[in-house]
Amino acid sequence: MAAIRTEGLTKRYGSCRRFPLPWREQPKGEDGPVVGIEDVSLTVEKGEIFGYLGPNGAGKTTTIRTLLGVISPSAGDAEVLGADVTDPAALRGAKARIGFLPSVMGFPEDVTGRRYLDHQARILGDERREELLELFDPPLDREIGEYSTGNRRMLGIVRAFMHDPDLVILDEPTAGLDPLKQSHFNAFVREEAASGTTVFFSSHVLGEVRQVCDRVGILRGGRLATVEPVDELLDRGGKRVRVRTRGDPGAVGVGLEGVVERTVHDREVQFTYGGEYQRLLDHLAGIDAIEDLEIAEPPLEDVFLHFYGEETETEHATTLPDTEADA
């Protein structure tokens, strides 16, 4: 049984005139329903770290709220830990085995972190509380209203994992954490998955997703553009090649099928290569004047732009003025 399964999951919100939403939510006509997510079908296996990617407003949080039963789907089916998200009784039992870290944490401001965790422990349990507090150390004896963004996030991480859940849903989990805490968190998540915990990891920060996730789904305008392993996603982005020559670099990359975005500056050539790797090596081996060579994977940000390129800018130009006027 999969930890998460959706089939044709769709959520539409009223009318875009009455309920203006961020432009990437994609209104269906001037007064028609606004789509949060449309026909989302995916499966997250037990013990997997699944990255759910997309810019702010793409529908990531709508998906999470639907999976947790906070909002009802307009169409399609979804299950978490075998429970139908539209069945309140079944979902109530499943949620006892789910940890959740929202992107915006609504903590009570006038209680200490310790009192908050004590209260949550009475509801959920806290088998792993002390272990987690050794890794993520919010100032428990201060009122939460005095916390920094990073301390709030650490308190939320402890709360999400302290009852030893089978599935953890994380919405922008490292926002506000310093680099050292981010590194600790990423290592912790990998260890959790290795022990069998399933992690659904929503983010728009591609670098951290690359470090921890097994597979990724890219959400565009409320629809899944692709679901695939991180390595395959990077392979589709080609290789970034930088060649520095002792003389004129004019022949580097010329006539080689798969070369795009070729630029020349002084004695240096840079391009993206999407062809067969051996052909690239054969081409470079035929150039005698190479002084320096670098072949690397493209940044995930570049791969991401493959799915959010010029079309997104057009959508922005078309729909953003309407939503701003409505607001």
- Taking only the tens place, the pLDDT of each residue in 188-201 is 999 999 999 999 99
* 276 and 212 co-located in one domain: no
* 71 and 50 co-located in one domain: yes
* 122 and 228 co-located in one domain: yes
Q: pLDDT tens digits for 214-263?
A: 999 999 889 999 999 988 887 777 888 999 999 888 889 999 998 988 99
Q: pLDDT tens digits for 166-183?
A: 999 999 898 888 989 999
Flag whether 245 is in a domain: yes
| Last residue in a domain, options 234, 257, 280 | 234
Question: Is 251 within 8 Å of 290 (Cβ atoms)?
Answer: no
* 272 and 160 co-located in one domain: no
Residue 213: which CATH number?
3.40.50.300
* 171 and 256 co-located in one domain: no
Flag whether 8 is in a domain: yes
Flag whether 186 is in a domain: yes
Flag whether 320 is in a domain: no
Q: What is the pLDDT, as a whole number, of residue 245? A: 93
C-alpha distances in Å from residue 53, one per residue of 5, 170, 304, 310: 17, 12, 9, 18
Residue 249 structural domain: 239-296
Flag whether 95 is in a domain: yes
* 209 and 265 co-located in one domain: no
- Look at residues 272, 238, 267, 273 and name the one whose alpha carbon lies nearest to residue 251: 267
Number of domains in the chain: 2
Q: pLDDT tens digits for 9-21?
A: 999 987 444 334 4
Flag whether 321 is in a domain: no
Angstrom distance (rounded) from CA 311 to CA 92:
41
Residue 285: which CATH number?
3.30.70
For the entire predicted model, the pTM comes to 0.77
* 15 and 28 co-located in one domain: yes
* 224 and 278 co-located in one domain: no
| Last residue in a domain, options 210, 234, 258 | 234
Strands, sheet with 223-229, edge to edge from the N-terminal-most edge strand: 98-101, 167-171, 198-203, 49-53, 215-220, 223-229
Ramachandran region, residue 319 (left: φ > 0; alpha: ψ -120 to 50; beta: rest): alpha
* 128 and 264 co-located in one domain: no
* 270 and 197 co-located in one domain: no
In three-state secondary structure terms, 288 is: coil
* 201 and 271 co-located in one domain: no
* 136 and 210 co-located in one domain: yes
| Last residue in a domain, options 216, 234, 252 | 234
- The residue whose two tokens read 């921890």 is 212
Flag whether 307 is in a domain: no
- pLDDT band at residue 297 under the 50/70/90 scheme: confident
Question: Is 200 within 8 Å of 192 (Cβ atoms)?
Answer: no
- pLDDT band at residue 32 under the 50/70/90 scheme: low
Instruction: Annotate 228-263 with DSSP letters as a single string.
Output: EEHHHHHHHT-EEEEEEESS--TTTTTT-TTEEEEE
